Structure 1
Amino acid sequence: MKKVKKVLIVIPPEKYENEELLNSLAIFDSAGILYEIASLEKGAINGHPVGVAEATEKLNDLHKSATKDYKGILVIGGPQSRDYLWNNGELHKIIRNFDKEGLLIGAVSNSVPVLANADILVRRETAAPDDQEIIHLLIKRDARYQNMPVVSDEHVITAKSTEYASELAKRMAEAILITPEITI
């Protein structure tokens, strides 16, 4: 058996924010943290504005074992996050399981509402984009919106925009590196 530290990275099935993904992967790579990319379907996914990522995991196949295999989950944003991830019941189940286990949960930019809709931001501070629809949703879901670049509240870390994805990934990496490895 091998001991590892691994993160599950979730991206929309099209037009994920390529810069958010690449910056996060660079941080995890430099910290020696493994990761797997998941989406609604396995396979090549086109990024925004450019880029292609390979989803090796399908969300529907993960909800039962995800908390055993990963130290954290990171939800990447993009123009299609609203359409595909905000109200995705399977993703919400996975996120709630991570929350119950006290595992790291991160979301960047347009994917912060995924956490609110999974009901894990209740009475938690959160960053979010300067988008009135998103801010209204967070307040409606009893999240404590903070107009800050990156916010950490317990084991949940959120970033306001793409430019802060690296900072979010750094905070996740630091937290992962101080926790025991998982055995695979």
Structure 2
Amino acid sequence: MSKKALLIIPPERFNEDELFHPKEALENAGIEVTIASTKTGEITGDYEGKATSEVVFSEVSATDYDVVSVIGGSGTNDHLWENQELQAYLKQAHNDKVLVTGICAGAVTVAKTGLLAGREAACYPVDVQINELKANNVEYVVQHVVAHDDIITGDGPDGAKKFGESLVKALR
């Protein structure tokens, strides 16, 4: 049975490196990737890159996937950080033993679920994200990737390839 990944991007302004590098790593490892958002259709990234959201995340079961990943970008702060439906979705995925991951602002989205309370995580090294981690009782660490058995966080574009590799390793 082949593995599947659900990559959740904001409805606008996702970070291209944070989406495309992990997607490539997963696909090169034979893992089927689905891109999701809060809407379907073409979405423009921070740097005018394009991606197509195939599904609305809330309309698919997280248990159909081996990993659910929240991708960063400036739109993640605006559209996903306070999305209660997404927070509930990530908590349910975690309860159902689906690997929950986030990179950059996506790591903050995961932290806001409470799943990382009392644990270490990576995020983009800017005060607004670091302060959000701390506000959710998460210890910020300066690393490209922080991998727990059940949750993986990444720092951003510079660590996007390593983040993708860590997802592949965790799914083996």
TM class by shorter chain equals: over 0.9
* Aligned residue runs from structure 1 range 30-69, under 5 A: 30-62=28-60, 65-67=61-63, 69=64
Q: Is 1:146 the counterpart of 2:148 in the alignment?
A: no
CA-based RMSD: 1.2
Q: TM-score, normalized by length of structure 2?
A: 0.95
* Aligned residue runs from structure 1 range 22-171, under 5 A: 22-62=20-60, 65-67=61-63, 69-171=64-166
Q: Secondary structure, in 3 states, of the residue corresponding to 2:106? A: helix
Deviation readout 1:22-49 (Å, 9 max, x if unpaired):
1111101110000111101111111120
Moved over 2 A (4+): none
Bigger radius of gyration: 1
| 1:125–1:152 contact (8 Å) kept in structure 2 | no
Which residue of structure 2 aligns with residue 182 of structure 1?
none
Tell me whether 131-140 or 3-12 shows the greater mean CA deviation. 131-140
- Deviation (angstroms), 1:160: 1.1
- Deviation (angstroms), 1:59: 2.3
Q: TM-score, normalized by length of structure 1?
A: 0.89
CA distance in structure 2 between the partners assigned to 1:73 and 1:84 by the alignment = 17
Q: Structure 2 stretches of 5 or more lacking a match?
A: none
CA distance in structure 2 between the partners assigned to 1:52 and 1:133 by the alignment = 26
- Deviation (angstroms), 1:103: 2.1
Q: Secondary structure, in 3 states, of the residue corresponding to 1:170? A: helix
